[in-house]
Structure 1
């Protein structure tokens, strides 16, 4: 039976076809899947583990397609690192037994955490090798064990370091201080299936903190809402629930939803396209804490979602710069794509009154947050706008630059500007190994070298990871 052509939204015709194949799962690839082959065609398989033999259901297939996509529906020969998925809606085996795809957001939940980190390490090493030509990592690092565990879970116990597979399988929960949900046509809290318009109702989010799960949003009638964003700061300060109303939703309906939430929770509406936020109750921002500083973050403004991520990343960045002699009292530093000032504040502490920090952020609302957060640091200059434009307008001789771009990376133009500016070092923070490796390649083409590299498992049970690198001009 030939697979039917279909869109990523998984059409009804494709579901009826229910084309299944038996495959040998090959190596992990960037994007949360593994590579398998069938009659010479590449199939990207989700919810498998390299080395397994599985039965899959094709979810995106067409005779003219360069590759197909599939979900595992049955494991015929399991990996020793396969564990029972901790969350039924995200478990591909259970979900397809009930006739629907799994929700996204926990695509590695069937893999023991120590193996997850090995797979993420392989992806990072492969991207660096393929996109940047990096065959040897700084200091002779082992490419098979690049990703470090971040030791936190819902109960406050330490996650396993990688040697205790039994403990490792159940750790890595409760770390999200931010979560995004969709709403079913019937007004129930839900999440999208991967690459699908289908919304699956949920009654828990095990990766989220108790501050989010304790709101019990799944018990609320959310009719009139299309999307819900929740921020519950790890410091215990007031949570914020953002509601994206459907067109035509009346203010009375919004007030009724807000009334179903605890009194100590701020509630606001937001426009996902513009980012505009309007209060319904309480404030339109949350107070976050990291590295000895408090930060105001408005609406859906960016903040690291793992509760320990801010401190972990600040520590890695400042250690690279301090140890290399690039950050000290009197240094001239830039923080690019600075957000609300997570890195800017500790950089200002390090350079002191005799140094300076240029903090650049493109989003107007987030830049306003940075001004409020850093108003007592006269050595900091806040600039709102595109990084390329600000670097042209404010050229200076930087000792060091912190580069924390969005998932798409900094890009060739920004890397070229940085190389031309001639800083002594760049600390690059990335959440995407592909764009990171591409940018490392641009630096190397400009005569720079990868001098230091650390990677952190800040997103357990997903394919995502965070990377911190030190780049310096080649000697």
Structure 2
């Protein structure tokens, strides 16, 4: 029987794909299903039909998983039509501990498929999150504005603005400052953020940046209010601790040409310096000019620290061609690429420079696994791995892995 787009079908979901969608099969065809949990049978509406797969949205749960809960965000619930569901909390209908089990499975399967590595580690909760059901952790929220001035998040997998009355993942100060009830005609985007000082603030479209201060322990970091900083209130501390733990001390040489690649405002370079002392040599490389300027200020405590404003791939080409230096030989490299991963070119150039160890901070399990697979082809192994639930009620996770040469 031919099935048309917008037709309802009955599906049994077997597993969770990277991206938070359930996987089901219909007449042998893969169907990616939103708002479903592995083990459930649902009635779903077909929304997209490609040659290799279809997409569908759950409209009714016929046989519910024991892990299903009332959605933490009423505006994202399946009680609403799929096109009217707010995006940004795609696992909000699943028990929090089971969310972490599903993310663990996604990381494990990604590593096996793309990295050819058998590794299974728990996705660790951030202290304090479990007791509040993973709510109220975001210090940064991006909202969008419809043509008539309505403010809200986009619908899932859409650029349609959804009016909402609440922001359950935001810290209280951000939720209170968000202009959800206002009409903002002529505006396209509103970012709401809470820094360590000064209370919550709004950033309207691409207004001129203002400096803010964030803190990790006793250390302060300067950055622009529109610049990148982790959204979870505790993420910067969690990743600082994780990177420090991931570095194998016996393989660390403070005098080597240590690198912090995709370094941002210097958070992880500072983590290395705090672990191994003020004379640690480390170069933080970042393509954003303003972030590099802030990194120079933030790393001023370390005599051996310097910052370079450059694309990582071009920096590595220059480093490879440098004459009369050790380059990165014997160095420790912290690698924190964007969601798309470092990619083959960067991995190949980095491996050719013969560092002693690479600490890879990853926000995408598939991109990370692909890069791990490339490193393996080049004679490296994944020595250590941890994973963290820095984005409760979403499919995102953060992983920190240590790679060393196979013959090490």
Normalising by structure 1, we get a TM-score of 0.80
Picking from 24, 29, 47, the partner of 1:36 is 24
> In structure 2, what is the equivalent of residue 23 of structure 1?
11
Whole-Å separation in 1 of the counterparts to 2:278 and 2:176: 44
**1:213-362 alignment to 2 at 5 Å?**
213-233=175-195, 235-244=196-205, 270=206, 277-278=207-208, 284-321=210-247, 323-327=248-252, 330=255, 332-362=257-287
Aligned residue pairs total: 400
| 1:290 CA drift (Å) | 1.1
Does 2:380 match 1:448?
yes
The verdict on how the C-alpha distance between 1:424 and 1:37 changes in structure 2, with shifts beyond 3 A counting, is: same
Mapped pair 1:111 → 2:94 = yes
How far did residue 442 of structure 1 move?
Answer: 0.7
Unpaired segments ≥5 residues, structure 2: 320-326
Are the counterparts in 2 of residues 348 and 379 from structure 1 also a CA contact under 8 Å? no
Q: CA deviation at 1:388?
A: 1.8
Provide the rounded CA distance (Å) in 2 between the counterparts of 1:328 and 1:89.
52
1:124 shift after superposition: 0.4
Q: What is the Cα deviation at residue 398 of structure 1?
A: 4.2
Partner Cα distance (1:230, 1:301) in 2: 13
Distance 2:218 2:347 in 1: 31
Aligned counterpart, 1:433: 365
Q: CA deviation at 1:357?
A: 0.6
Could you give the per-residue CA deviations for residues 47-74 of structure 1, whole angstroms, max 9, x where no partner exists? 111111111112223xx53211111111
Secondary structure in 1 matching 2:285: strand
Cα RMSD (Å): 1.9
Residue range with higher mean Cα deviation, 48-57 or 194-203: 194-203
Match of 1:94 in 2: 79
Equivalent in 38, 44, 67 of residue 56 of structure 1:
44
Residue aligning to 2:52: 66
Rounded Cα–Cα distance in structure 2 between residues aligned with 1:69 and 1:202: 25
> Is the Cα contact below 8 Å between 1:231 and 1:286 reproduced in 2?
no
Picking from 79, 83, 89, the partner of 2:69 is 83
TM-score by length of 2: 0.93
Are positions 1:131 and 2:131 aligned together? no
For 2:72 and 2:163, the matched residues in 1 are separated by 17
1:295-354: per-residue Cα shift (whole Å, max 9, x none)? 112142111111111111111111121x44234654542100000111112222334343
**Does the CA contact (< 8 Å) of 2:10 and 2:42 recur in 1?**
yes
Distance 2:347 2:298 in 1: 28
Which moved further from structure 2: 194-203 or 125-134? 194-203
Task: Check conservation: 1:189, 1:203, Cα contact below 8 A.
Answer: no
